[in-house]
Amino acid sequence: AGAALLPEARRLLEQAAAMPELVRRAAAGESGRLALSFVTPADYSVLPPLLRDYSAAFPNVELVLQEATTDVQIDDLLHGRIDAGLLIPPLPDKAQALLDYASVLEEPLVLCAPAGLLPADGRPVDLHALPHLPLIIFPRKSAPALYDAILSCFHDAGITPSIGQEAIQMQTIVSLVSAGMGLALVPQSVSNLQRPGVEYRALASPTPLVELGLAWRRENASPVLRGFLELLRKE
C-alpha cells in the first residue's frame, strides 16, 4: 500500500518545490490573467503590435480580449470586470475620480465612401463636392467626443448632415457604406479595414484629431496590469 502512494507523494513534493517560483512569477506580473477591452480603431492601429510585444515579454499571462465601445468599457472598468480598456476619451466626470488614463494615439478622420463615388485622381475631397448621401454613424452615447468631432466637420463646412443608419461597431458602419447606404467619417486607422465596395479618402480641410488611450482602475494593484502599463510606456 505504501508503494502505491509513492507517485502521489512525489507529485505533491514537486508541487511544493515549485510554489516559490510560482509565487515569484505572480508577484512580478509574469503569470496570471489580463482582461483587456478595445474599440475598433485600436484593432487596426496600436493593438496588434502591443499584444505581440506583451505576449513575447509575458508568455505565461492569459490574455482575455473583448471588443467594446467606450461607454461599455467605462462601465466594465468601474465594476471591475476588466483590467484595462483602449478607448476614446474623455472619461465622464463620474469615472475620473476612479480611473487613470494615458494617451496612446492621435489621428485624423477620413472619408469612407461607396466605391465609384469619389473622383479617380485620389486627391483629398471637399465635403461640399460630395453627392448628398446619408451619414452613417454610431449612437452618440457610445463615444460622445468622436461623434461630436465627426459632426463638427460638417458643421464647420456649413453642412447639416442627414443621419441615416446608426451602427455600434465600425465594421458594421463600413459594411453599410459598402452596401451604398451612405457615407461615413472614421478614424484614419479604420482605413486598414479593406472591404469590397468601399473607398477611403483624406478630407481637403483639416479635421479634429481623434485620440485613443488606455484607461484602468486607479486602485487596481494587479502585478499583471503593472507589467502591461510598463510595456505600454516603452512603446
User: Do the Cβ atoms of 89 and 102 come closer than 8 Å?
Assistant: no
pLDDT of residue 30: 75
* Domain spanning 31-106+211-234, CATH class: alpha beta
Grid cell for residue 197: 465596395
Is pTM beyond 0.85? Reply is no
* Residue in this structure with the C-alpha cell 463638427, named with its chain if needed: 152
The phi-psi region of residue 178 (left if phi > 0; otherwise alpha if psi is between -120 and 50; otherwise beta) is alpha
Q: Given a cut of 90, is residue 61 above it in pLDDT?
A: yes
Task: Please give the grid coordinates belonging to residue 62.
Answer: 492569459
CA 133 to chain centre: 28
Beta carbons of 43 and 67 less than 8 angstroms apart: yes
* Rounded Cα–Cα distance for residues 162 and 148 (Å): 15
Q: What is the pLDDT of residues 98-148, one digit of tens each?
A: 999 999 999 999 999 999 999 889 899 999 888 889 999 999 999 999 999
> How would you label 171-202 residue by residue, b for 16+ Cβ within 10 Å and e otherwise?
bebbbbbbeebbbbbbbbbbbebeeeebbbbb
The pLDDT confidence band at residue 234, using thresholds 50, 70 and 90, is confident
E strands in the chain = 32-38, 61-67, 84-87, 99-107, 109-114, 135-137, 163-166, 184-187, 198-201, 210-217
Q: 217 exposed, middle or buried (CB, 10 Å; 0-12, 13-18, 19+)?
A: buried
Maximum pairwise Cα distance, the chain: 89
Architecture (CATH level 2) of domain 109-208 = 3-Layer(aba) Sandwich (3.40)
Where, residue-wise, is CATH 3.40.190.10 in the chain? 31-106+211-234, 109-208
82-94 residue pLDDT tens = 999 999 999 999 9
CA distance 178 to 175: 5
